[in-house]
Amino acid sequence: MDWSAIPYFAGLDVPALARVERAAHRKRYPAGAVIFTEGECCAGFYIVADGLVRIYRVNPEGRLHTLSLLRSPSTFNEVAAVDGGANPFDAVAVTQVELLIIGHEALLNLMATERRLLTNTVQALARLNRDYIERLEDMTFRTIPSRLAKLFLRETAYADQIAELPSKLTQEDMASILGTTREVLGRALRGLMNAGLLRKHGRAFVIVDKAGLQALAETNTLPNLRESPKI
């Protein structure tokens, strides 16, 4: 585990890191296992040591919204770990994963003695907040093709929260990241292909026209289709 790669522990001295390490316990989950569920009480602070973790919410009708897909130097559930409240989302192991967990109380104790951990946490929470504001605005204002362009460009929130290149995701996964359904996402992909922004490479899509994607991500509308007849 490279602790220095995790913003929360940056700048801690060796004895402090040792204390952190003692407070954390290691846990493995097989692929597909539930790590914790929304509403359950404060599962604690999680660090991804190995593997891929999906953070998501489910609506009453059963549709998924994937908030994050996280790999190794990432952390999750900081909010519940810090305030001791219910977990704000579900977490499952996508692949086999290895996690380090620091309980709510233990984390508060560490923060009580390590000022640096406290200031790091403030900065990290601020960052998280920015990401959520951005995702919120995407959902209120942007069409699905526009969100899809942002996902391919891996802009801020999507780069922070989605540790997987879109070309490696299934359409189902992309749909759940963008908060829509597989069919709609497929349409959007075909749209971007017809517009000459993406090209298919095997099953995956690759970027052809980055500037075009950028325009779509900003203006929310597709520029004229490639094969639109010139009169």
Partner DNA sequence: TTTCAAATCCAACAAAAGTCCCAGATCATC
Partner DNA sequence: GATGATCTGGGACTTTTGTTGGATTTGAAA
> What's the closest the beta carbon of residue 48 comes to DNA, in angstroms?
21
Q: Decide which of DNA, its own copies, none touches 132; Cβ closer than 5 to 8 Å per partner kind.
A: its own copies
> Which residues, 33 to 62, sit near its own copies by CB under 8 A?
57, 59-61
DSSP letter assigned to residue 164: S
Contact with DNA (CB under 7 A) among 60, 61, 201, 227? 61
Angle at 67 between CA 63 and CA 70, to 5 degrees: 125
Nearer to its own copies, 116 or 187 (CB): 116
Cβ–Cβ < 8 Å for 118, 9: no
Angle at 164 between CA 72 and CA 220, to 5 degrees: 135
Q: Decide which of DNA, its own copies, none touches 19; Cβ closer than 5 to 8 Å per partner kind.
A: none
Residue 96 is a binding residue for its own copies (CB under 8 A): no
Length reported for the chain: 231
Question: How far apart are the C-alpha atoms of 33 and 45, rounded to whole Å?
Answer: 18
Name the nearest CA neighbour of 69 among 160, 204, 170: 160
Positions in the binding site for its own copies (CB under 8 A): 57, 59-61, 63, 65, 67, 78-79, 82-83, 85, 88-89, 111, 115, 118-119, 121-123, 125-130, 132-133, 135-137, 139-142, 179, 218-220
